[in-house]
Structure 1
Amino acid sequence: MQLAKQSFQVKGLDYSIRSAETRDAAQLAKVRLQIDGETENMDRERGEAYLDQAAFERLIAEDAKSVRDLFLVAEVNGHIAGFSRCEGNALNRMKHQVEFGVGVLQQFWGYGIGRKLLETSLHWADGNGFKKVNLKVLNSNKKAVELYRQCGFEVEGVLKMDKYLADGNYHDTVMMGRIR
């Protein structure tokens, strides 16, 4: 699904949130790889489950046609600073819900980009009849957990020892959901 571009200014930074376009594919491949290397809050280490430009082109084109999926980018001065995706399900028993995921380049943390991507996605989900939005977040990512709570998400479960991180320890993943 496609959404109109929205512009924001936070702490002197001008940025926009808009639907991903196939012309973004090459940049998205680089940005996703960079984000995966900047933080352990993602599921992947840098280079794992790599999506190249062609894979992003296919994903963006499929999402643009789908009423169940939404792919957004945050853009600063013509460059992608982050992205989010809501992925729906075609199964009748699960078509009322979408899974949300987000990533923002570290240099743009603290400008509310992740929050705006989330809020835009929630507005889209509510307006398109979805009853539930799900996500997973590392328990140690306290800022994200708090943001999700502020946006109406509740903890629905914990996956114990779900991720093994560079600190040599296993970390729990929190499953959260927001029901409309």
Structure 2
Amino acid sequence: MRVNQKEFHISDLRYIVRSAIEKDAKNLSEVRIQIDGETENLDREKGESYIDESGFKQIIKNDTESISNLFLVVEVNERIVGFSRCEGNNLKRTSHKVEFGVCVLKEYWGYGIGKNLLKESVFWADSNEIKKITLNVLETNDKAIELYKKYGFEVEGILKKDKILSDGNYYNTVLMGRFNG
């Protein structure tokens, strides 16, 4: 599904949040690799589960056509610096919910980009009769957990020793959900 773009001015940064379009595919492929290498908060290490330009074109096409998917990008000076997705499915028993994921280039942390992607996604879900948004977050990502709680997400469960990070230790994944109904 597509949404109208919105412009934000935070400190000295101007950015646009908008729906992904096919011409974003190459940039998204490159940005995703860079983001994966900048943080251990995501599931992948740099280069893992690589999605090339044609792969992103297909995802964008599917998300645009689906009423239960939303693919947003953040653009600064015509460059994508982050993105989020809400992904639903066609199974009747779970058609009321979507899973949310977000990532932003480290250079652009602190400008409310993740927050605005979340806000736009929550607004879209609430406006389109999606009753539940779920997400997974690493237990050490306190800022994200607090942000999600501010927007009505609750901890629904913990996957114990779910991820192994570069320090060799195991960490829990926090399962969170927001129900609007």
Same fold by TM-score, threshold 0.5 exceeded? yes
TM range (shorter): over 0.9
Paired residue type of 2:167: D
**1:162 offset after TM fit, Å?**
0.3
Shift of 1:113: 0.2
Residue deviations 1:122-179, cap 9 Å, x none? 0000000011000000000000001001111000000000000001100000000001
Question: Is residue 2:108 matched to residue 1:98?
Answer: no
> Secondary structure of the residue that 1:36 maps to in structure 2?
helix
Please give the alpha-carbon distance, in whole angstroms, between the structure 1 residues aligned to 2:134 and 2:74: 21
Taking the aligned partners of 1:90 and 1:69, their CA distance within structure 2 comes to: 11
Distance 1:30 1:167 in 2: 26
Deviation at 1:12, TM superposition (A): 1.3
In 1, distance between residues paired with 2:151 and 2:14?
23
1:81 is matched with 81
Whole-Å separation in 2 of the counterparts to 1:136 and 1:25: 25
- Give the TM-score normalised by structure 1: 0.99
Structure 1 gaps, min length 5: none
CA deviation digits over 1:20-73, x for unaligned, max 9? 000000000000000000000000000110000000000001111110100000
> Map of 1:107-126 to 2, 5 A cutoff?
107-126=107-126
Which residue of structure 1 lines up, in the alignment, with residue 62 of structure 2? 62
Partner of 1:31: 31
SS at match of 2:94: coil
Measured on the aligned residues, the alpha-carbon RMSD in Å equals 0.4
Which residue type is aligned with residue 32 of structure 1?
A: R
Which residue identity is paired with 2:168? G
CA distance in 2 between partners of 1:50 and 1:103 (Å): 15
Output aligned runs, 1:157-176, within 5 Å.
157-176=157-176
Alpha-carbon separation, structure 1, partners of 2:97 and 2:5: 24
* Distance across 2 between alignment mates of 1:158 and 1:89: 23
Work out the percentage of aligned pairs sharing the same amino acid.
56
How many residues end up aligned between the 2 structures? 180
AA aligned to 1:142 is: D
- The residue aligned with 2:4 is 4
* 2:101 partner SS: strand
